[in-house]
């Protein structure tokens, strides 16, 4: 399974919020923010914090898919 947080970055643009503002508002670590930037796995709790700040659902900020070989 692969994941993408492109929806998160687009939503942040729409809400005129940068990564530092989101990190501080959601009280997540810079390490978690870096993992999001690399489309790596983060705890669901981190995604929940982001969703609370952005007033959205998890599927509004990420998508996952399987690669077809």
pLDDT band at 1 (very low <50, low <70, confident <90, very high): low
* 16-68 residue pLDDT tens: 999 999 999 999 999 999 999 999 999 999 999 999 999 999 999 999 988 76
Residues in the chain: 69
- Residue 67 has what pLDDT? 75
Residue 69 has pLDDT above 90, yes or no: no
Q: What pLDDT is stored for residue 65 in this prediction?
A: 85
Q: Provide the b/e sequence for 36-52 (b: ≥16 CB within 10 Å).
A: beeeeebeeebbebbbe
């Amino acid at each position: 399974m692969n994941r993408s947080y492109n929806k998160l970055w687009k939503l942040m643009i729409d809400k005129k919020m940068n990564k530092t503002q989101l990190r501080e508002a959601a009280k997540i670590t810079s390490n978690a923010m870096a993992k999001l930037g690399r489309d790596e796995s983060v705890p669901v709790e981190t995604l929940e914090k982001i969703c609370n700040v952005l007033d959205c659902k998890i599927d509004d900020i990420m998508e996952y898919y399987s690669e077809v070989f």
